[in-house]
């Protein structure tokens, strides 16, 4: 009877499940971690070999951090919650040498007054190096390279052996995590960090990769960083041998920051991408059809540019090594299985025919020195004679913009970057990849800075824009680039040499201001907007995506929202328009079930069947290659070989801890009990043996 | 069940020591250490063959030599295995993640 009761009690206790017990102890928090990345010489980022746990400690200012380090009464290990802008090399050193640091939580944006946007200091410091990616740029082998980011702290390239996570109130789940953590930290603070039990946070942040990319790829513990670049041209019949020159319009699609889930990069890349998309839209309405002009126009948006210009370098490498001998054809779809290419259409582009490159760099006007927004046109200073005419044309068109249509962007001047007689050369840009292959291509890079890059370069706080200035800068840049490209494509290098027909037609090149505002909003803060919904049915999903990271991600591992959108948008803008018999496009191909089936050579974009030459292109470090067994290996360690480490499930959880003193007391009590009970058992056995023997 | 060493005849002790000594050359250097530990309780018996002493002495010298060799190899391996690339991975057998 007793045993039956015992068994049923045990069963009931077991059914009161393990999950409930877990929930009473732990509180899982959403996590935005800093992870480990590897390159040819070593690794950067955060690693935690064991689960790190620390009592939550709140430090809002530098004085708080120093007080934490000097406080002798703190006996535990602590998880320090600091505002993101206090995350600098020196502050981290202070925390580490205190020997009380378990992990750091950096708040990028929070509701607490210490973490709010209004509390952000005005002087921002870029975490990138003093010359980002310059070791892979055009001037890598020249002595005394011009440092384009002199205030850069290099935080992105440091190694941390403890977890660093971010907190940001950008959506519901993360806001709840932030609220839990702050509530717990405030309670700890109210108790003076001495009145146990206190709230503690445990981090699981174990990265598999170590040493460098070569060792890590060999062991299969990391994946190359990269994604998909997009290129598009209105000349759907372009071929390698058609002897027609090419005008390239290019921008970067990705950026980086310490916390990859938070990477936006409005200044670092999004504004440039928006400009190129707006240019494509403006040129699509040209009254002189683009595919009848004497030169081809090719739009390129590269991914992986933040990682040593991986996207543009690979693109240039591939188009200069056509034709490709495909040894193993793919099992399905296009491209080639070995050597591996997702798509082979790039072979139609002839790099020897590229006669102009127009690039849009940092254009949002944020994080700069201040002053009136101005656009600067940079050219290479090694072979500068090649770009003189193009530069003159860009500046000329920038000036003429004010005389055609009255518009607010008339106030934004376009100057040559060397207007102060200092020839700095090109800032770090994708065009460098083209120029490394052939240095005499006329190239102009438009940016909002003359002497140094934005202090928000690759910063986690590069998540906002200035309402009149940013839009005006983008609109002016798009206007200048579209008109320059339009003239260049017709072989006109001097505005004064335009034919009357061209002078009349150029007025049709109008940049759509509303489109720029929509694109900027959709691509940074709210992906489920009507513009994106027209192409990709995003609002229909369970949790409509709002803010998506602009980190390029790892190769082939996830769907890439921005390349997919760029592909759809550019495909629509460069699609063949039947000018002679303008029948409306066939619609209905995207509904389920589809009411219309597109022809084999057509794509279904925005519910219409279109013909377009818009393709993806693999983007990952050119130093990495794939062998016939579909494994990655390092082909050339002097080129970018960035990889991201695989990791064990990342997690963050909160629980109560008692004081170290009481924990030791518990241990001693347990030991004492063990000894006492062993003693009791031993003596009673001896006693019983004696008494029983006497019997 | 083996006899305890104190109850063995001098001949049996000689045979045991000889087996332990030569067995060590079959890539079993621990047997040399066992030789010393095994013979130690009876090392001063008068009726023991002098050859036993020689075997035990040589076992001792070889044990020290192997200890030095292993220590040096351990130091080299632990510090340089990451620099050896593929051979280093093969020698490590079970690869530990994160290092």
Which domain CATH number covers A369? 3.40.630
Domain-located, residue A415: yes
Residue A146: pLDDT above 60? Answer: yes
* Contact assessment for residue B98 and residue A47, using Cβ atoms and an 8 Å cutoff: yes
Q: Which residues of chain A does B99 touch, with a Cβ-Cβ cutoff of 8 Å? A: 210
**Helix, strand counts (H, E) of chain A:** 16, 25
Domain-located, residue A145: no
Domain-located, residue A216: no
Residues 6 or more apart whose Cβ sits within 8 Å of residue A103: A48, A52, A53, A54, A79, A80, A162, A163, A164, A165, A201, A203
pTM for the model stands at 0.89
- Average pLDDT value for chain A: 89
pLDDT band at A403 (very low <50, low <70, confident <90, very high): very low
pLDDT (tens digit, 9 = 90+) per residue, A48-82? 999 999 999 999 999 999 999 998 888 889 999 99
A235 shares its domain with A204: no
The mean pLDDT of A325-334, rounded to a whole number, is 87
Rg (CA), chain B: 19
A96 shares its domain with A237: no
Q: β-pairing, A246-252 with A354-360?
A: parallel
Residue A311: pLDDT above 90? Answer: yes
Can you give the three-state secondary structure of A264-294, one letter per residue?
CCHHHHHHHHHHHHHHHHHHHCCCCCHHHCC
A207 shares its domain with A316: no
Residue A577: pLDDT above 80? Answer: no
Domain-located, residue A427: yes
Least confident range of A42-46, A441-445, A626-630: A626-630
pLDDT band at A322 (very low <50, low <70, confident <90, very high): confident
The mean pLDDT of A157-185, rounded to a whole number, is 92
A165 shares its domain with A313: no
pLDDT at B21: 93
Number of Cβ within a 10 Å radius of residue A68: 21
Task: Please give the ipTM for the structure prediction.
Answer: 0.73
Residues 6 or more apart whose Cβ sits within 8 Å of residue A240: A322, A323, A347, A348, A349, A350
pLDDT band at A402 (very low <50, low <70, confident <90, very high): very low
A341 shares its domain with A314: yes
User: Who among B82, B95, B98 is closest to A49 (CB)?
Assistant: B98
A177 shares its domain with A230: no
Domain-located, residue A686: yes
| Share of residues in chain A with pLDDT > 90 (%) | 63
* Contact assessment for residue A173 and residue A31, using Cβ atoms and an 8 Å cutoff: no
A653 shares its domain with A673: no
Domain-located, residue A387: yes
pLDDT at A27: 77
Domain map of chain B by residue range? Answer: 5-91
The mean pLDDT of A451-458, rounded to a whole number, is 93
Compare A656 and A651 and report the one with higher pLDDT.
A656
A406 shares its domain with A504: yes
**Which residue do the tokens 């292993």 mark?**
B70
Q: Which residues of chain B does A211 touch, with a Cβ-Cβ cutoff of 8 Å? A: 82
A409 shares its domain with A553: yes
pLDDT at A1: 60
Q: Quick one: tokens of A240?
A: 């390698």
Please name the residue ranges forming H helices in A453-606.
467-489, 500-505, 513-524, 530-535, 561-573
pLDDT at A405: 45
Domain-located, residue A149: no
User: Who among A208, A214, A218 is closest to B97 (CB)?
Assistant: A208
Q: Write out the H or E segment, with its range, that includes residue A85.
A: none
Distance CA A232, CA A254 (A): 18
pLDDT at B43: 83
* Contact assessment for residue A348 and residue A678, using Cβ atoms and an 8 Å cutoff: no
The mean pLDDT of A662-673, rounded to a whole number, is 95
Residue A538: pLDDT above 60? Answer: yes
pLDDT at A246: 96
Along chain B (99 residues), what's the average pLDDT of each consecutive run of 10 residues? 80 90 93 92 84 92 96 95 89 89
Q: Which residues of chain A does B82 touch, with a Cβ-Cβ cutoff of 8 Å? A: 211, 215
| B residues 73..92 contacting A (CB < 8 A) | 82, 85-86, 89
Query: For chain A, how many structural domains are there in total?
Result: 3
Number of Cβ within a 10 Å radius of residue A192: 9
C-alpha angle A312/A313/A317, rounded to 5°? 115
The mean pLDDT of A252-256, rounded to a whole number, is 94
Closest Cα to residue A352, out of A456, A242, A202? A242
Interface of A with B (CB under 8 A): 47, 49, 206-211, 214-215, 218-219, 221
A338 shares its domain with A279: yes
Q: B94 at the A interface (CB within 8 A)? A: no
* Residue span of the structural domain in which A337 resides: 226-576+586-620
The mean pLDDT of A240-266, rounded to a whole number, is 94
Q: Quick one: tokens of A211?
A: 């040493």
Order of all β-strands in the sheet with A375-378: A414-416, A375-378, A443-447, A354-360, A246-252, A296-302, A226-233, A613-620
**Which residue do the tokens 């000689």 mark?**
B14
**Four-point Cα dihedral A489, A495, A499, A502, nearest 10:** 60
User: Who among B85, B89, B98 is closest to A210 (CB)?
Assistant: B98
A166 shares its domain with A311: no
pLDDT (tens digit, 9 = 90+) per residue, A226-249? 999 999 999 999 999 999 999 999
Domain-located, residue A47: yes
pLDDT at A404: 44
pLDDT at B5: 82
Closest Cα to residue A217, out of A552, A550, A637? A637
Q: Which residue of A has its CA nearest to B96?
A: A208
What is the secondary structure of B32-90 as a DSSP string?
Answer: HHHHHHHHGGGTT-TTS-HHHHHHHHHHHHHHHHHHHHHHHHHHHHHHHGGGGHHHHHH
pLDDT (tens digit, 9 = 90+) per residue, A91-142? 999 999 999 999 999 999 899 998 888 888 888 899 999 999 999 999 999 9
A204 shares its domain with A269: no
């Amino acid at each position: 009877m007793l045993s039956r009761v015992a068994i049923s009690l045990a069963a009931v206790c077991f059914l009161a499940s393990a999950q409930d017990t877990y929930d009473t102890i732990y509180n899982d928090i959403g996590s935005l971690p800093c992870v480990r990345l590897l390159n040819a010489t070593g690794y950067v980022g955060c690693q935690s070999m064991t689960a790190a746990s620390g009592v939550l400690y709140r430090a809002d200012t530098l004085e708080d951090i120093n007080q934490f380090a000097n406080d002798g009464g703190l006996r535990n290990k602590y998880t320090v919650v600091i505002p993101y802008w206090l995350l600098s090399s020196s502050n981290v050193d202070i925390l580490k040498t205190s020997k009380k640091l378990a992990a750091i939580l950096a708040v990028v944006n929070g509701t607490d007054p210490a973490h709010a946007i209004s509390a952000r200091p005005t002087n921002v410091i870029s975490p990138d190096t003093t010359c980002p990616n310059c070791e892979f740029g055009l001037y890598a082998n020249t002595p005394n390279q011009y440092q384009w980011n002199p205030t850069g702290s290099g935080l992105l390239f440091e190694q941390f052996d403890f977890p660093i996570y971010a907190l940001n109130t950008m959506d519901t789940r993360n806001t709840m995590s932030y609220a839990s953590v702050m509530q717990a930290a405030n309670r700890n603070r109210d108790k003076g960090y001495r009145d146990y039990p206190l709230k503690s946070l445990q981090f699981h942040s174990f990265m598999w990769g170590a040493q460098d990319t070569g060792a890590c790829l060999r062991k299969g513990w990391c994946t190359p960083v990269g994604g998909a670049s997009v290129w598009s041209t209105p000349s759907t019949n372009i071929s390698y041998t058609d002897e027609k020159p090419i005008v390239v319009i290019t921008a970067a699609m990705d950026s980086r920051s310490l916390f990859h889930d938070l990477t936006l990069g409005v200044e670092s890349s999004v504004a440039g991408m928006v400009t190129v998309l707006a240019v494509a839209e403006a040129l699509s309405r040209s009254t002189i059809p683009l595919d009848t002009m004497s030169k081809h126009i090719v739009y390129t948006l590269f991914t992986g540019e933040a990682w040593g210009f991986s996207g543009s370098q690979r693109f240039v490498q591939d188009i200069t090594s056509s034709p490709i001998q495909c040894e193993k054809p793919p099992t399905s779809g296009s491209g080639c299985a070995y050597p591996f290419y997702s798509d082979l259409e790039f072979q139609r582009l002839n790099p020897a025919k590229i006669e102009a490159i127009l690039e849009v760099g940092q254009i949002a006007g944020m994080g700069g020195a201040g002053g009136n927004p101005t656009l600067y046109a940079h050219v290479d200073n090694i072979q500068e004679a090649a770009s003189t005419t193009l530069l003159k044309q860009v500046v000329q068109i920038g000036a003429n913009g004010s005389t055609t249509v009255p518009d607010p962007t008339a106030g934004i001047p376009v100057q040559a970057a060397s207007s102060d007689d200092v020839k700095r050369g090109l800032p770090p840009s994708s065009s460098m990849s083209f120029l490394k292959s052939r240095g005499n291509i006329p190239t102009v890079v438009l940016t909002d800075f003359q002497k140094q890059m934005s202090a928000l370069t690759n910063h986690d706080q590069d998540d906002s824009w200035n309402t009149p200035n940013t839009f005006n800068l983008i609109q002016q840049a798009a206007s200048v680039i579209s008109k320059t490209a339009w003239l260049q494509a017709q072989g006109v290098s001097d505005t004064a040499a335009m034919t009357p027909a061209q002078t009349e037609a150029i007025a049709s090149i109008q940049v759509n201001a509303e489109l720029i505002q929509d694109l900027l909003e959709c691509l940074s803060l709210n992906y489920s907007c009507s513009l994106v919904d027209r192409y990709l049915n995003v609002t229909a999903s369970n949790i409509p995506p709002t803010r998506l990271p602009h980190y390029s991600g790892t190769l082939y591992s996830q769907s890439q929202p921005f390349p997919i959108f760029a592909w759809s948008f550019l495909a629509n803008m460069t699609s063949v328009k039947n000018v002679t018999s303008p029948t409306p496009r066939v619609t209905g191909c995207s509904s389920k079930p589809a009411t219309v089936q597109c022809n084999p050579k057509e794509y279904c974009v925005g519910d219409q069947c279109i013909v377009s030459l818009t393709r993806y292109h693999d983007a990952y470090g050119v130093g990495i290659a794939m062998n016939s067994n579909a494994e990655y290996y390092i082909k050339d360690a002097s080129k970018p070989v960035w990889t991201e480490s695989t990791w064990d499930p990342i997690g963050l959880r909160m629980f109560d801890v008692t004081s170290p003193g009481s924990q030791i007391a518990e241990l001693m009590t347990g030991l004492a009990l063990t000894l006492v009970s062993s003693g009791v058992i031993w003596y009673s056995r001896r006693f019983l043996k004696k008494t029983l023997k006497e019997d | 069940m083996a006899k305890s060493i104190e109850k063995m005849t001098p001949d049996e002790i000689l045979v045991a020591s000889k087996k332990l000594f030569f067995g060590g050359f079959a890539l079993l250097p621990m047997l040399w250490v066992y030789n010393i530990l095994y013979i130690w309780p009876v090392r001063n018996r008068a009726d023991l063959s002098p050859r036993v002493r020689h075997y035990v002495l040589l076992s001792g010298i070889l044990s020290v030599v192997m200890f030095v060799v292993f220590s040096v190899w351990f130091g080299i391996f632990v510090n340089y295995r990451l620099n050896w690339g593929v051979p280093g991975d093969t020698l490590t057998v079970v690869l530990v993640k994160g290092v």
